[in-house]
Amino acid sequence: MKRVAVFAYGVVSYLTFFGTFLYAMAFVGNLGVPKAIDGPLEGSFAQALLINLILLSIFAVQHSVMARPAFKRWWTTIIPDAAERSTYTLFSSLALILLFWLWRPMGGEVWNVTHPMGHAILLGLFFFGWGLVLVSTLLINHFDLFGLRQVWLYLQGREYTPLPFGTPMLYKYVRHPLYVGWFFAFWATPTMTVTHLTFALVTTAYILVAVRIEERDLAEALPEYAAYSARVPRFIPGAGHNPPE
């Protein structure tokens, strides 16, 4: 029963993530959800800004702290090893759901592209970014990344084995195509409001800081990563690095 319960927990965590991912795309793109990133300012601008920064900080702290190896070692003394990744996925989703629920639009307009061609290009880049995020996870085993592989193996009574280091397709050109996808998803918009700009600036700053911590952990865990990072650029293909082999 414990194995079945852990597996069910992993499935629920994954479905929560996937629903949150789809809602996030609609939230950032103002695509017909009950509450989106943009809207008229209600009340104090300073109060709305403070609330939004707190919500983004909650996500950033959760996302970074729970990903650290030391936290994982402590956390798995409380929960089964097989449920660790699913729990991370679930808590990340809950942090985003909290952000969606309490987010405060701040109004204002930074740019508004009304030309049909420009509007279509920016909207296309927006969807390209979200697609790139999803494809990037599939290339490195989507189901391992979000905990389903771990709980499936546990259900079968099989020991979890970490995936071997690899650089499939996009990973031969940039080390973090998933983050490149987030940049497109957050910045490509026909209408950039003050609210959206705040969101894009804070999330981009978080990614730029978090990626350095993540790469330090990867270098410690994977002997091949140092050579890989010396050969392949972080975000921009061909940016001062040798071409992929």
Model confidence over 129-168: pLDDT tens digits?
Answer: 999 999 999 999 899 999 999 999 999 999 988 888 888 9
Q: Are 79 and 13 in contact (CB under 8 A)?
A: no
Mean pLDDT of the chain: 93
pLDDT at 198 over 60: yes
Distance from the Cα of residue 124 to its chain's centroid: 20
Sequence-separated (6 or more) residues with CB below 8 Å from residue 24: 96, 100
Task: Report the candidate in 50, 52, 20 with the shortest Cα–Cα distance to residue 33.
Answer: 20
The pLDDT score that the predictor gives to residue 107 is: 87
pLDDT at 243 over 60: no
Q: Are 29 and 178 in contact (CB under 8 A)?
A: no
Q: The tokens of 177 are what? A: 């195509």
Q: The tokens of 193 are what? A: 């409001």
Phi, psi torsion values for 218, nearest 5 degrees = -65, -40
Phi, psi torsion values for 112, nearest 5 degrees = -145, 105
Q: Are 224 and 75 in contact (CB under 8 A)?
A: no
Give the predicted TM-score (pTM) of the model. 0.91
pLDDT at 222 over 90: no
The pLDDT score that the predictor gives to residue 106 is: 93
CA distance 178 to 59: 18
166-175 pLDDT tens trace? 889 999 999 9
Q: Is 112 helix (H, G, I), strand (E, B) or coil?
A: strand
Q: Are 206 and 60 in contact (CB under 8 A)?
A: yes
Confidence of residue 244 (pLDDT cuts 50, 70, 90): very low
